[in-house]
Structure 1
């Protein structure tokens, strides 16, 4: 792959984030829902905490003292925009848990041309973006009282994602990621097919559905959804935190504890999938773990193979997992990283074809604007063709992009 200077390939990031503009739902919902559907108000913050993996903001009343921020209001939910939603451009010591307005965030967080400009600065060609207000797999709508409205909100988000965020202004450089109504697997299957028909090849899902009060992947409940993904070539994309429960050790553990062990839910989730039998029932199904890093994967595969070999008779998997979990991983699972020198040193134990690169723009962990430099430093021991596969080739194949690394647009279903 020729790049600007013939060295490090242009990056295809499989985990960035969009901060939804204020009109995403107000411009798409029926009039009768505009007062209860998602909308932005400007209001003061009364108090806010983030301990034990739980985010707890309290909105003040108009006229009260307190920092002013923009808040998403939806039914009884009050959710502020925070500096953690969009931290790029600030020094690490300036990134605190505080409310902000749209004017105080980097415009690339929500504006397509500005996002492309920030991607150019970071040597990024294309990017797949997870949501902010809906949360990483649409939990916000799953928790809502009015399911009719929630379904409309899911569809409105997907329409905005395809038609605007990934629309003509994006020039094929934004890769669409759809949401599903998690509360109904048949409705979810229909939404997968609706979006696959217009070229969408990825859908967000929860790493650990039971944490959301939903069935586990060991049941048959998800089969209609999984069948739709299998048939359409739609990748099941799971982001850390998509179970609404970040790993932690106690109710008073500081965020630094959870931030250090964010990979844990991905680890638990991957074992679930490998022992579920779903990959043998749905042979074309692919799953990816966004922002989970990759250094932990070799040991988990080793342990899973040992358990499968020695304990499968009493372990409840003999009748549904007929091949070593490591073989299933190689064919179905993709790990995503943005800063994992240890994982790259153990790439042979993971698999060159199972690793994807990301930048996590605009979050506080993001390597922007130095994702290229980080990649060069950590992949310097790899052959150029291996670097090309990690940085872009695997993403092109997995997400059905053009040979040039772009999304071809609506109507490009495989």
Structure 2
């Protein structure tokens, strides 16, 4: 299978054994007019919009991304920047790296013309999915960040709420609209600053057939309440009642794990699963799965190899220390049992996790391709999956690659999304 620089594809023969993939973690780079087409006119000068400008400086150390936009006429590489109130956020090669050699991928600003068209264009995305043996895909946002932190951090709440709703309308009606033929699965945002508004947005989108909502892995890192109190209960109730899965992507707490302020990005990239690990323990010890039996959560791009030990340790702590550990009255059974009923881990390259599948649970594992990020296995996700799952029987592979996603996300038997 080969891909030309213009995006045209030459297909390799498809495997008759490996199932068509349903990826539960891909990404969309929002087209420039998502918000300008949908916000009231009075917000067009303050809402999200694209400008082309030079880069003055940019760093990514200690898990912190710090770009500085230059003025017109300044020297520096030219890129497309999202402007939103006082925020200046450039598009970078890390937003969309597929099609480039790994050693050529650097932290640099880019324009839409310099990215693969499948990053933001539906027909081109479907073509790239075909190349990669992918049938359907759930996509996280880029400019809003992985759970809408961009809108949560902005001071104008009215504009923030309108921007969240505009994104969701674009996601449902356009990105996952008729042109996608059911192959793109909607993932929506909520106004994280107000749990009642968040619940209303969950229900608004659930009425349209949406069954997944983005959320922060560790809300306190965003200045928001933890899940241990009652603050989030209206939102959690709405998710449980509508069958809406809470999807948490690495980085959705705006604080990537690192070890020091001067640690290179490779350090954080190696331990990206850490926030998922902390988050999962939070949920298992929160008592929320007792209060909301229909609740389901999933961890995107967190991988799965770390899960067995954490479950073992959580069970030991619950068994031996729950009396003084503050969970005896709300966590009524071993945490591993809640995991089996409520939690899903997602991976794209985790041979160790697959070798320990019995300790995780076949029903709790989902596959992803991470298109178009630098970690993506595109265009060889099938080959990667075949290599890592070669020791598993066909039924097990089918469950991991598509069956579990169909059940969790309420897709058709054919693996497609259909609006309500």
Shift of 1:196: 0.0
Structure 2's unaligned 5+ residue stretches are 1-12
Aligned to 1:259: 269
Out of 231, 236, 240, the position equivalent to 1:226 is: 236
Aligned to 1:156: 166
Q: Deviations over 1:209-257 (max 9, x none)?
A: 0000000010100000000000000000000000000000000000000
Shift of 1:408: 1.1
Aligned to 2:188: 178
Q: Deviations over 1:22-81 (max 9, x none)?
A: 000000000000000000000000000000000000000000000000000000000000
Out of 65, 77, 92, the position equivalent to 2:75 is: 65
Please give the root-mean-square deviation of Cα atoms over the aligned residues, in Å. Answer: 0.7
Q: Give the 5 Å matches for 1:16-35.
A: 16-35=26-45
Residue 407 (structure 2) pairs with residue 389 (structure 1): no
- Displaced runs of 4 or more, over 3 A: none
Q: Give, in whole Å, the separation in 2 of the partners of 1:323 and 1:206.
A: 25
Aligned to 1:204: 214
Q: Deviations over 1:385-411 (max 9, x none)?
A: 0000000000000000000000012x2
Residue 121 (structure 2) pairs with residue 86 (structure 1): no
Shift of 1:6: 2.3
Q: Give, in whole Å, the separation in 1 of the partners of 2:187 and 2:66.
A: 27
Out of 364, 369, 372, the position equivalent to 2:374 is: 364
Structure 1's unaligned 5+ residue stretches are none
Q: Give, in whole Å, the separation in 2 of the partners of 1:280 and 1:373.
A: 40
Shift of 1:5: 4.0
Q: Deviations over 1:90-122 (max 9, x none)?
A: 001100000000000000000000000000000
Aligned to 2:3: none
Q: Give, in whole Å, the separation in 2 of the partners of 1:110 and 1:264.
A: 30
Q: Give, in whole Å, the separation in 2 of the partners of 1:136 and 1:361.
A: 14
Aligned to 1:96: 106
- 2:94 alignment partner, SS class: helix
- 2:209 alignment partner, SS class: coil
Q: Give, in whole Å, the separation in 1 of the partners of 2:361 and 2:307.
A: 10
TM-score for the superposition, normalised by structure 1: 0.98
Number of equivalences: 408
Q: Give, in whole Å, the separation in 2 of the partners of 1:76 and 1:251.
A: 25
- 1:219 alignment partner, SS class: coil
Residue 410 (structure 2) pairs with residue 408 (structure 1): no
Aligned to 2:145: 135
TM-score for the superposition, normalised by structure 2: 0.97
Aligned to 2:315: 305
Q: Give, in whole Å, the separation in 1 of the partners of 2:325 and 2:250.
A: 27
- 1:83 alignment partner, SS class: coil
Residue 318 (structure 2) pairs with residue 318 (structure 1): no
Q: Give, in whole Å, the separation in 2 of the partners of 1:106 and 1:6.
A: 28
Q: Give, in whole Å, the separation in 1 of the partners of 2:218 and 2:172.
A: 27
Q: Give, in whole Å, the separation in 1 of the partners of 2:139 and 2:168.
A: 12
Q: Give, in whole Å, the separation in 1 of the partners of 2:156 and 2:94.
A: 29
Residue 269 (structure 2) pairs with residue 279 (structure 1): no
Q: Give, in whole Å, the separation in 2 of the partners of 1:205 and 1:166.
A: 20
Residue 20 (structure 2) pairs with residue 10 (structure 1): yes
Q: Give, in whole Å, the separation in 2 of the partners of 1:187 and 1:340.
A: 37
Aligned to 2:409: 399
Q: Give, in whole Å, the separation in 2 of the partners of 1:380 and 1:408.
A: 32
Shift of 1:4: 4.9
